[in-house]
Structure 1
Amino acid sequence: MASKLSAILPDLSPWRSSRDFRLLWVQGLITFFGSSMAMVALPLQIKELTGSPLAVGAMGAVELIPLIVFGLYGGALADYFDRRVLILATEAGLGLLAFVLLVNALLPEPLLWPLYVVAAGVSALAGLQRPALDSLMARIVPHDQLTAAAALNTLRWQLAGIAGPAAAGLLVAYSGHATAYGGTIVGYALSLLMCLRLSPAPAAHDAEKPSLRGIAEGARYAWSRPVLLGTYAIDLVAMIFAFPLAVFAFLADDLDAEWSLGLMYTALAVGSVALSVTSGWTSRIRRHGLLVIFGAAAWGLAIAAAGWFSNIWLVLLALAFAGAGDTLSGLGRSTIWNQTIPEELRGRLAGIEVLSYSVGPQLGQVRAGAMAGWTGTRSAFWGGGLLCLVGVGALTAVLPKLVRYDADTDEDALRRRAQKETPQAQA
């Protein structure tokens, strides 16, 4: 029985082998709990101020350009500066922006424009921070434990994603937006204390200064690797066509279940947690491209089902399945990225990864808000889910190398393993 459970339960090897992984895991749990409260409160406040799904979806539009610019530049910075310093500086900046939201919420008549300004600022700082965080993971975790690390990180995010939105929904309903923003500030403060204990993570002595030429070099590398292109493309398709979080509040109204808004966010996290806590088997998978494909298809199918169902409990169940599918696809993407990208390009490629899994949701919010305003909330769900399925199917047909990817035979994965096992690679 014990052996069967160990084959299913998460692989804890990264937690045991790396002190910095443990610190980042706890730090991420704290900061994501706090930020997920703002993630719920901010679009809900825009909805209450405007009553417009298009206005809520526009939040994704104002976040898009800062994310693209600072995500790419953040990747170049992560290859040149100490990644620990970058993480600390951006975490402090995010805390200050949460304070701006708190001050605005405490005004007798909260203003709309600061909400969009803060959303753009958060997007810029997240673009600077995520490449440093993501590229650090490949350095501090052993090569053969990267899938397990991705599963544990997903479990961390989603545990906070369950508690944060649920708490935010209750706090906003009974205490107002200011309380939720206050919780976000506390989360960032505690996170800073954890990040201070991280080991320094300096760049290589011959690292290239951030420049457009360096960013272009990273883009050329990504373009020359069909497997990487496939992971980016499938994630973009899934998020652009089937990311409906911006209109959750309107779906709750449509189902006469306004009380379920927090549960909708939580359902996605519950599905992700269910996959993560039974992820032990993924450490034995070598065909990670198939995880990307099957997970994205499951996400699209489940989002389409959520749009068809009229019973709120079936909608929540469909959203839980969507969360599980998204997590499965994310495990495959993260493993491929960390297994194949060389250390000297890791920051810049992490910047491209930020665009891959962040730009898609931003465009998806715009798509969902616009489609809900034009054709109705329900069609924004099921129509987007079906488009996701079609897109994933088409990409699978034209990306045979992603389908055939095998960690034991792929030349880039073997080269990265050898690089990591060379002491000079860690200098």
Structure 2
Amino acid sequence: MTWKPSALLPDLSPWRSSRDFRLLWVQGLIAYFGSFTAMVALPLQIKELTGSPFAVGAMGAVELVPLVVFGLYGGALADAVDRRRMILATEAGLALLAAVLLLNALLPRPMLWPLYVVAAGVSAMAGLQRPALDALIARIVPHDQLLAAAALNALRWQLGAVAGPALAGLVVAYAGHGPAYATTVCCFAVSVALCLRLSPAPPAGGAGRPSLRGIAEGARYAWSRPVLLGTYAIDLAAMLLAYPPTLFPFLADELDAKWSLGLMYAAGSVGSVVLTLTSGWTSRVRRHGLMVVFGAAGWGLAVAGAGWFDDVWAVLLCLAVAGAGDMLSGLGRSTIWNQTIPDGLRGRLAGIEVLSYSVGPQLGQVRSGAMAGWTGTRGAVWGGGLACVAAVGLLAAALPRLVAYDATTDPDARRRRAAGAP
């Protein structure tokens, strides 16, 4: 068999086979573009109104609790209602919140408190929406194309993450906050129009009303499945022990390269994009548990290198490799979830994933800042990276079923595959 360079390109099978996937992909790209535009404009406006770093940082505090609470509830809701309606309602809610930002920015003297209210509201809407979005993918994409769908969705996010902030910075600098928020409103209006064209996605038969008992049922299911438990645990360990962005300003100073700060923040995304654009080979992988383990271990090892090397270009290269490792692990996690979780529990498990996804980086920032006070900046970076590698190794040893996971033989994956493709 002759190897072709095209084998590295992303697998476009989900795009060709599913109309709803195409709609969601385009809708998501436009929504991400608008979201990232507001994510840059909002803290800049708080900074201009207050001049206080604490006031800007407080935005993260008001966002965390709604994300956790509504993420768990949104997971239960996604299993009990039509997921299309849930996505449409939350997208419309995000459009209204963007309109509040726009109206406030057009006032002669914009007020501060609405910015925090909107930040909390956006976090709540995101917590409600993400489980429904995640749960819908496995219903609209054939079982054997789920990893390719995860790669394409990751590429969509990366495009929005790069283009949105870049445009927002230019718009705010030259036109002010009003036009930036107007861009966000327009993006969400288009997104809502695309969501209206999605096919209905009613709940699975026998679905009950959202309740604490339902959330607990999802938690018990996750706890009873070592493969799923391993994906959550490894992701949490990697973010808790080796999440370094908080230390980038101090690392740039120690390397006598203040000019490199922006590149440090961007390097991980560059590595993720490169991995995604060359992800065609992952469609032939069946041992997705190994993808999770190797990706997370690679993330930790590369972060350790970023704290160890003295040369700033070596540091940037390590951060790019770390981003690629994180993306590899993320593709493995997403594929395992979509291949094994029953449709009736998918929303609740996605809600638990939102909890893991949000808490890990937040606690990781606290960990890195506290450790830097004891060991210095570079010690906190490389020490956290090595701790991540050790934790991933221990978790892999403690959860052998995750390492042994094979999409063709795993009982849960076979049951899900036998349940029928869209």
Q: Does TM-score exceed 0.5, indicating one fold? A: yes
Tell me the CA shift for residue 299 of structure 1.
1.9
Matched, 1:86 2:86: yes
Aligned twin of 2:235: 235
Aligned twin of 1:27: 27
Aligned twin of 1:319: 319
Tell me the CA shift for residue 23 of structure 1.
0.6
Contact 1:166 1:266 in 2 (8 A): no
* Cα gap change, 1:345 to 1:391, in 2 (>3 Å): same
Aligned twin of 2:398: 398
Contact 2:204 2:343 in 1 (8 A): no
CA separation in 1, counterparts of 2:56 and 2:132? 29
Aligned twin of 2:66: 66
Report matched runs for 1:175-324 at 5 Å: 175-245=175-245, 263-308=263-308, 313-324=313-324
Matched, 1:154 2:165: no
Tell me the CA shift for residue 355 of structure 1.
1.6
Aligned twin of 2:341: 341
CA separation in 2, counterparts of 1:63 and 1:281? 37
Contact 1:68 1:127 in 2 (8 A): yes
Contact 2:238 2:388 in 1 (8 A): yes
Tell me the CA shift for residue 219 of structure 1.
0.9
* Cα gap change, 1:301 to 1:101, in 2 (>3 Å): farther
Contact 1:67 1:124 in 2 (8 A): yes
* Cα gap change, 1:105 to 1:375, in 2 (>3 Å): farther
Report matched runs for 1:138-149 at 5 Å: 138-149=138-149
Contact 1:371 1:380 in 2 (8 A): yes
Tell me the CA shift for residue 194 of structure 1.
1.4
Q: TM-score, normalised by structure 1?
A: 0.87
Report matched runs for 1:102-181 at 5 Å: 102-103=102-103, 113-181=113-181
Tell me the CA shift for residue 74 of structure 1.
0.6
Greater mean deviation of Cα atoms: 221-230 or 107-116: 107-116
Tell me the CA shift for residue 109 of structure 1.
6.9
Tell me the CA shift for residue 293 of structure 1.
1.1
* Cα gap change, 1:95 to 1:246, in 2 (>3 Å): farther
Tell me the CA shift for residue 262 of structure 1.
5.2
Which letter does structure 2 place at the counterpart of 1:336? I
* Cα gap change, 1:175 to 1:316, in 2 (>3 Å): farther
Greater mean deviation of Cα atoms: 126-135 or 318-327: 318-327
Contact 1:339 1:416 in 2 (8 A): yes
Tell me the CA shift for residue 63 of structure 1.
2.5
Contact 1:33 1:164 in 2 (8 A): yes
The gaps in structure 1 that reach 5 residues or longer are none
Which letter does structure 2 place at the counterpart of 1:74? G
Q: TM-score, normalised by structure 2?
A: 0.88
SS at match of 2:419: helix
CA separation in 2, counterparts of 1:150 and 1:191? 20
CA separation in 2, counterparts of 1:296 and 1:376? 24
* Cα gap change, 1:159 to 1:118, in 2 (>3 Å): same
1:88-130 residue CA offsets vs partner (Å, 9 max, x unmatched): 1111222233344445556677666544433322221111000
* Cα gap change, 1:261 to 1:25, in 2 (>3 Å): farther
Tell me the CA shift for residue 2 of structure 1.
8.8
CA separation in 2, counterparts of 1:255 and 1:111? 40
Contact 1:303 1:318 in 2 (8 A): yes
* Cα gap change, 1:282 to 1:172, in 2 (>3 Å): same
Contact 1:56 1:246 in 2 (8 A): no
For the aligned residue pairs, the C-alpha RMSD in angstroms reads: 3.1
Matched, 1:37 2:37: yes
Which letter does structure 2 place at the counterpart of 1:217? E
CA separation in 1, counterparts of 2:297 and 2:178? 38
Tell me the CA shift for residue 292 of structure 1.
0.6
1:49-78 residue CA offsets vs partner (Å, 9 max, x unmatched): 4554x7655544432221221111111111
Which letter does structure 1 place at the counterpart of 2:21? F
* Cα gap change, 1:103 to 1:85, in 2 (>3 Å): same
